[in-house]
Structure 1
Amino acid sequence: MAKKEANFDLYIHDLLVEAGIQADTQGSNIVPINEALKTASKHQTGKVGFPEYIAVVDDFVLVMEDKADRANLCLKEADGTISMTVQATTDYAVNGALHYAQHILQKTTYKKVFAFGNAGDSKHHTLQPLFVDKNGYKWLPEVQTFENFSMAHIVEYYKRLVLEETPPEDIELADILKKAKELHEYLRNYGGLGEDEKPLVVSAILLALREKEYGFNLNQLTGDTLESNTDGAILYQYLEKNLQRAKVAPEVKKQRVLNQFTLIKDRPQLNTKRADLGDKTPLKYFAEYINNNIFQAIVSNGREDYLGRFYGEFVSYSGGDGQALGVVLTPRHITELFCELVDLKPTDVIFDPCCGTGGFLISGMHKMLRLAKSDAERKHIKQQQIYGIEIRDDMFSIATTNMILRGDGQSNLICEDFLAQDPGELQLKGGGITVGFMNPPYSQAKGKDTANLSELCFIRHLLNSITTGGRVAVIVPVSAMIGKTKEDKAVKQDILKKHTLEGVISLNKDTFYRVGTVPCIAVFTAGEPHPADKIAKFINFEDDGFEVKKHLGLVETERAKDKQQYLLDCWRGKVADFPSSFMVETTVEDTDEWLHSFYYYNDEIPTEDDFMNSIADYLTFEFNMVTHGKGYLFEQKGGDNNA
């Protein structure tokens, strides 16, 4: 047992190092804590205590006790409280950690301690944190890494989990969604706009508002009825100037975007004054609302695709979910995860052939800009390393607006049919596309005549469009990885002949909240045939730390960073032992279902408690059957051998 515990101690040490936490072993280099430990024996004799690890992060103390058996995680009293008897603090991880935490609080000036009871081995274990202060202790959710307790995150974690404060981003999100709902009502009631037109009007106004520093003023919107001077005509003039200022090119692209915005000057209802709006036109009312409530949030937050959020909200408030058109926009935490899965670098050239409102391009550009070391690199990224295709004119215009709002008027977006493009020509863009991101249209293949529109066909076409050795990540329904039809099976076979499947990650069923699609992420290496002995990773990431909250939709909880860090550690090969319930590494065949559920096997040895619980469940079942007159189900039949 001592050897097992020592190995587990090393595993915990590695997790601490990875989180950037400098911890001391069985003592502390901090004098007051070390003095306190001199009388902190778990045997409660007043002698020296030796916790496995102690660290100080910010003004928090972290103290840890490890046990090699999960049965020794925690001992509780009959009332459910943590037992503090000598046997409990000596033999159980949580109890021992709590003992040390209370002693440190009593003997030092530290006020806040996170106590960790860690039990198991490197493959199957439980890491159970408590928060301890003078008022007692508080149970916290189990963790898989110590990322939340690093210097970068510990204060935020404390505020969320211990103080139970609503994080600023949740407040901002709630505010934005509230405003999206209000704006939806205004656009519908006063503008008579359809669900696809609403985000276009918002985009047009945002572009015009960017011209405020060059002469545009909301007071110029007077409701004039002269055709060349209506509010819509004025907004159109300024948004056109902004497209020119952003150097949107070529001219055909700029004109295509402008064509989508002509409704603001052509629609009489938008340009007619209304008494119930204070004798303003709906356009001026919308422009004032956006300027006062939304504009600054959008231009100051480069990471968030607010126009995409508005689009999703407008569709949902209109009673749809976008699926009828195959439109399922990707949430930001997924677009950012893609960047990590492919290890995005500032030298990469990104391509999204179904870019929608530009979510993947925004996240990719944001990551690359952060990694860039000079203004010249950043300029080159914006102008030469971002490529996208969108087949729908309205989405194309929104994506273009999104990129302009982030200072990228020359992003190489085109409005075309991706499947009609020559993969060889696409490969050459930007000197060679190295990264492909995609959320293709869903459920477009309804039969043999439309089999070429399946998600797998989109994946194959994207892989063929990336330079050899390039990385590709796609998010598709889990059904796409099964290959039910003859046509899909042939495509899977063709993919493995030319490209390498690195792995598939099954996602939270609520990732596309309100849509009902259960998605997964598939990651490939382009242009390199899949070797027969290639080991691919299949991960169950359904518990990703995101939850659905009323009035907010899918939001990040305090567990998300920890969950994602563990996912990335496993994906990058940093975790040697992992439960098969989370990840399976295996060779693959084109006839396999490329999903964790297909390859999963239970590698966990049942504990004695598991066995006893199973026996108890069976006996309870048998008793219920007998008392309900179905005892005959358990009568043995046959000859002497069954007597």
Structure 2
Amino acid sequence: MAKKRKNESKVDIDLFNYLSNTKKYYNSWETKKTSNSYIQTVLDTSSKSGTGFRGEPDLIYVNENKKILILVENKDSIGDHESKKRNKPKDFAVDGAIHYTSFFLEENLDNINSSLKKHFKDWSIIGIAFSGDINDEYNHLVTTFIISENELKDIETKEILDEEDYLAFFENIDIESISKNISKSSSEINRILRTLDSQKRPILLSALMICLYDKDNVANDFKRSYSNWSTANIIRNIPTTILDILTNESIDTDKINTLINELAFITTDNDLNSSDILKDILKELENNVIPLFNKKTNYDIIGKFYEEFLRYAGVANVKKGIVLTPSHITQLFTELVDFRTNDVIFDTCCGTGAFLISGMNKLVKEIENSNLTNKRERIETLKQNQLVGFENSSTMYSLAISNMLFRGDGKSRIYHVDAFSEKATDVLINLRQEGITPTIGFINPPYGGKDNNTNPTKKEIQFLESLLDNVSRFGVIIAPLSTYFKDDVIRNRILSKHTLKYVINMPGELFQPNAATHTAVAVFETNFPHNNKEVVFYNLEDDGFILSKNRGRTDVLNKWNPIKKDVLNKIDNAKSLQDNLTLVQTKISSNDEWIIQAHSKTDYHHLSEKSFVKSIKQYLIFSLKFKLNLLNKDIDEITLLELLDDSIKREPEILKSSLTFEFDTWKEFNFYDVFKFQRGKRLTKLDQNDGDIAYISSTKENNGIDNYISPPDYMTVYNNSMTINNSGSVGYVFYHNYDFVASDHCTVISILDEKIELNEYIAIFLKPIIESIKPKYNFAREISDYRLNKEKISLPVDKNGKPNWKYMEDYIKSLPYSSSL
């Protein structure tokens, strides 16, 4: 048989058209050659024959501004994708991609021309091997290589990405390396400071960072001389150095004095005065931390260092109200609203300044991509006048000042004030008189506020209202889920002034290891009353980040960028994409909750015959222990197994015949149209007198039985009813065919239609269905009667469209173990 004729020119054309028309690249692709003289110099000696003459990759992409180079080698058949030893560059795509990309390794550049190594130092260099037909998703292969740490690495992606995705991949590699070094130094500095109070460590760190600050790479006297000074001389020079540097940076005297006053302890601390602790920390900062700040990236390296430092010091955690925002979330904020080049970013509790940094990066990008003629002046104006922050914590304030100092921006507009104070009001008035009016607000408020006499810290919702009332265009917040369904009065007041646009539930692991709290991001358009407009709710269960022991959560698998794109696409096109489970668009009015759990449908997809068999088994185990008075006895598993073996019949009660589980034929009902429900009554442990009536509480053990009591007269004694835990172990459902009373942590449920008598078969059928609402509730968002009145439930129906109770009973009877009921 004649060998199939190769047609690689068609592959070149098809791939060129695909990359040019389908993928997002800022410049044009080139074939064979490039106009970039540096790249062409390298390729002039890259012949695949090894002759030292010119080589020509099939496709070349160059973006000199972004410093990215992509070399592509094509083959028309996937059979020619890769040789066993990857040493045949003329015949195989992978071999060719490796061949050309390898010429840009440092040692090879050195061999060609010593200046090339310096030129390509900061470039992102990618080699792509492609084979097959790009228009046939099942008949092509892609292998991608990058140069990282002067090695050629396969990045394990099986598709061709957009330009920004490749750049994000390189940035993630840098971030991984940076995070590793930052974590190491943070741990080391905290080890050195182990005898110093953890609350004082960040203030000292900030002071030492400021003392090492160079402007325009001209070393200050402190930095140049401290290694030769005594400890006493270092301590004596710290306040004067801070004063000189911050004064030179036009920082207000009051702000400088605040920092210096916080540092008073360094003159009296015995350990600092009697050892080389300060000199050791200064060396660690100078040699291993500050050099990282010079890396060109949008990643907030300084903020990450402070975050890691605070984590090791034990300062940043939810109990202390300090939960620092991950950098990928601060960047997400900037993509949730439209920016203008003259926007003023405002954060009323700015912490280390992470949101201000992200806002600044976004504004710089907007200015650079604009048609403005005075871009450099506008960027300087931005850094001086378009970043405004309040911070009440002296610890966080000191870190914010040093963070912005090393960033070269924004310091003069960060204020050490309580956002709710008269002083804060005066600051805003003075700013407006200068022509500085905040337009976009970003905030991650302190968590766990109470706003009472014992804990006067304001609640998250109060921070939100204050922010929205002081920005003219948009406000974005990340806060615990309870912020979005508690405090109806304040929430309704917010909607009377501002429009809620999106609420995005964040992954539960977002703030680990510093905090384990479930949060959501909300976006508002300010100064337009909500007036029952539609809101988009989205549940982001996974951001792709992985928790590692020493570096926290990182995007080691490079998943966040595509996930973020998907999030932004879904909330922008929610009407056509909504699925009623993870993406919902619905009208919101007064007293409605701002959280997807209140508006999404219950997910029944997990239900199967096994769900109902499990329900039978759970009830059988309880019934046996109940009959034998074993509920509160410590019985080993083998004994229980023996008891069950003697009493449990495995066959169904009736033949299965035509009874099948067909969820698609079920109908959705309002919960209140099917069931009566009533919350139980509170009864403290001290008031629980011994008796023979089961006391049902919010435990998930022993069918909800917590005790046996003689109930007071005000408590209703029920029988043949179900209960659902409305708090505690939220959402667990139990059936009780014995006398019981219920605590206020339980809601008693019975069938509304009095002609229908509840029995164990129907109850066992209902248990996994009702328990399907569990994911919508937690210890903070309990199952109140108000929320049950808004719940819906899907049930099998008869020919009249009413709940088919007979089917429910017979279906359970047709399942294994039902004859033991």
* Residue number in structure 2 paired with 1:442: 447
In the alignment, does 2:406 pair up with 1:405? Answer: yes
SS of residue in 1 equivalent to 2:329:
helix
What are the residue-to-residue correspondences of 1:192-591 with 2, within 5 Å?
Answer: 192-211=195-214, 213-224=219-230, 230-249=233-252, 251-273=253-275, 281-300=276-295, 303-319=298-314, 321-373=316-368, 374-408=375-409, 410-421=411-422, 426=428, 429=432, 430-445=435-450, 453-467=458-472, 470-483=473-486, 488-514=487-513, 515-532=515-532, 534-556=533-555, 557-573=557-573, 576-591=576-591
In the alignment, the residues of structure 1 paired with residue 478 and residue 617 of structure 2 have an alpha-carbon distance, to the nearest angstrom, of 48
Shift of 1:316: 3.5
Q: Residues of 2 paired with 1:309 and 1:235: CA distance? A: 24
Q: Distance in 2 between matches of 1:127 and 1:579?
A: 28
Residue 629 in 1 paired to residue 649 in 2?
yes
Inter-CA distance 359–20: structure 2 relative to 1 (3 Å threshold): same
The aligned amino acid for 2:180 is: A
Measure the CA separation in 2 of the matches of 1:236 and 1:116: 68
**Which structure has more helix as a fraction of its residues?**
1
Native 8 Å contact 2:536 2:574 kept in 1: no
CA deviations 1:241-280 (Å, max 9, x no partner) are: 111121112x21222122223434453432334xxxxxxx
CA distance in 1, matches of 2:213, 2:71: 44
1:13-52 aligned within 5 A: 19-20=23-24
Quote the Cα distance in structure 1 between the aligned partners of 2:549 and 2:285: 25
Q: Distance in 1 between matches of 2:426 and 2:536?
A: 29
Q: Distance between the aligned counterparts of 1:115 and 1:282, measured in 2?
A: 62
Deviations 1:330-352 (A, max 9, x none): 11111111111123333110110
| Other-structure match for 1:182 | 188
Range with greater deviation from structure 2 (436-445 or 407-416): 407-416
Deviations along 1:560-586, whole A, 9 cap, x unmatched?
110011112223349943544442111
- Cα 1:213–1:140 change in 2 (3 A) is closer
The number of residues matched between the two structures is 523
**Secondary structure at 2:250 match in 1:** coil
User: CA 1:441–1:115 in 2, change beyond 3 Å: closer, same or farther?
Assistant: farther
Structure 2 counterpart of 1:270, which letter? L
Q: TM-score, normalised by structure 1?
A: 0.70
In structure 2, do the counterparts of structure 1 residues 416 and 617 end up closer, same or farther at CA, with 3 Å as the change threshold? closer
Q: Which stretch of the first structure deviates more once superposed, 381-390 or 317-326?
A: 317-326
The question of whether the paired residues in 2 share the 8 Å contact of 1:332 and 1:359 is answered with yes
Q: Which of the pair has the greater relative contact order for Cα pairs under 8 Å at 6+ separation?
A: 1
Change (3 A) 1:479 1:17: farther
* 1:539/1:583 contact within 8 Å kept: yes
Give yes or no for contact 1:436–1:473 (8 Å, CA) kept in 2. yes
Partner-residue secondary structure (3-state), 2:392: coil
Partners of 1:536 and 1:585 lie apart in 2 by 6
Given the superposition, is the C-alpha separation of residues 632 and 569 from structure 1 closer, same or farther in structure 2, using an over 3 Å criterion? Answer: closer
CA deviation map 1:128-155 (0-9, x unaligned): 997569xxxx99789xxx8x70134348
Conserved in 2, the CA contact under 8 Å of 1:222 and 1:231?
A: no
Q: Deviation per CA, 1:498-542, whole angstroms, max 9, x where unpaired?
A: 11001101111111112111111011011110022x221111112
CA shift, 1:56, in A, is 9.2
Percent of paired sites with the same residue: 25
Structure 1 residue ranges without an equivalent (≥5):
1-12, 23-28, 32-54, 64-98, 120-125, 161-165, 274-280
* C-alpha distance after superposition, 1:310-365 (max 9, x if no partner): 44434433456532321111111111111111233331101100011111111111
Q: What amino acid maps onto 2:538 in structure 1?
A: I
The residue identity in structure 2 corresponding to 1:149 is L
- Summarize deviations over 1:468-511 as a string: whole Å, max 9, x none: xx10001101121121xxxx011111111111001101111111
Pair 30,416 (structure 1): closer, same or farther in 2 beyond 3 Å: closer
With over 3 angstroms needed to count, the CA separation of the structure-2 counterparts of 1:323 and 1:151, relative to structure 1, is closer
TM value normalised by structure 2: 0.56
Indicate conservation of the 8 Å contact 2:536/2:585, yes or no.
yes
Does the 8 Å contact 1:322/1:328 carry over to 2? Answer: yes
Contact 1:305 1:359 (C-alpha < 8 Å) held by counterparts: yes
- Structure 1 residues 578 and 243, CA, compared in 2 at 3 Å: closer, same or farther? same
Change in 2 beyond 3 A, CA 1:287/1:634: farther
Match of 1:87 in 2: none
SS of 1:432's partner is: coil
In structure 2, distance between residues paired with 1:175 and 1:492: 43
SS in 2 for 1:513: coil
- SS, match of residue 414 in structure 2: strand
Range with greater deviation from structure 2 (628-637 or 587-596): 628-637
Gaps of 5+ in 2: 1-16, 33-58, 62-69, 84-89, 95-128, 145-153, 369-374, 621-643, 657-760, 762-804, 814-821
Counterpart code for 1:466 = V
Match of 1:276 in 2: none
- Where 1:247 maps in the other structure, the secondary structure is coil
Please tell me whether Structure 1 or Structure 2 has the larger radius of gyration of its CA atoms: 2
Cα pair 1:115 1:129 within 8 Å, conserved: yes
- 1:474/1:523 contact within 8 Å kept: yes
Tell me, in whole angstroms, the C-alpha distance in 2 between the residues paired with 1:511 and 1:127. Answer: 36
Q: What letter matches 1:521 in structure 2? A: V
Residues 356, 396 of structure 1: 8 Å contact kept: yes
1:113 corresponds to:
130
SS in structure 2 of the partner of residue 149 of structure 1 = coil
**8 Å Cα contact 1:230/1:271 also seen in 2:** no
Distance 2:177 2:586 in 1: 43
CA contact (8 A) 2:353 2:404 kept: yes
**Alpha carbons 1:444, 1:450 under 8 Å: kept:** yes
Query: CA contact under 8 A between 1:270 and 1:282: conserved in structure 2?
Result: yes
Relative to structure 1, is the Cα distance of residues 531 and 128 closer, same or farther in structure 2, using a 3 angstrom cutoff?
Answer: farther
Work out the CA distance in 2 between the residues paired with 1:284 and 1:261.
16
* 1:424, distance to aligned residue in structure 2 (A): 9.2
Give the distance between the partners of 1:155 and 1:396, measured in 2 at CA. 33
Match of 1:149 in 2: 161
The corresponding residue for 2:741 is none
2:723 maps to none
Bigger drift between 622-631 and 337-346 goes to 622-631
Distance across 2 between alignment mates of 1:462 and 1:114: 54
Offset at 1:401?
1.2
Contact 1:361 1:386 in 2 (8 A): yes
CA contact (8 A) 2:130 2:140 kept: no
Shift of 1:371: 2.6
Deviation at 1:113, TM superposition (A): 3.4
Of 168, 171, 184, the match for 2:174: 168
**Contact conserved, 1:463 with 1:472, CA < 8 A, in 2?**
yes
Matched residues in 2 for 1:572 and 1:454: separation?
30
Aligned to 1:599: 599
How far residue 170 of structure 1 moved from its aligned partner, in angstroms, is 0.7
CA distance, structure 2, for counterparts of residue 179 and residue 16 of structure 1: 45
Q: Which residue identity does 2:570 align to in structure 1?
A: C
1:101-146: per-residue Cα shift (whole Å, max 9, x none)?
A: 4477799753323899999xxxxxx99997569xxxx99789xxx8
Go from structure 1 to structure 2 and tell me whether the alpha carbon gap of 1:244 and 1:320 turns closer, same or farther (over 3 Å shift).
closer
User: For residues 173 and 247 of structure 1, do their structure 2 counterparts lie closer, same or farther at Cα, with a shift above 3 Å needed?
Assistant: same
Superposition deviation, residue 167 in structure 1: 2.2
**Counterpart in 2 of 1:37?**
none
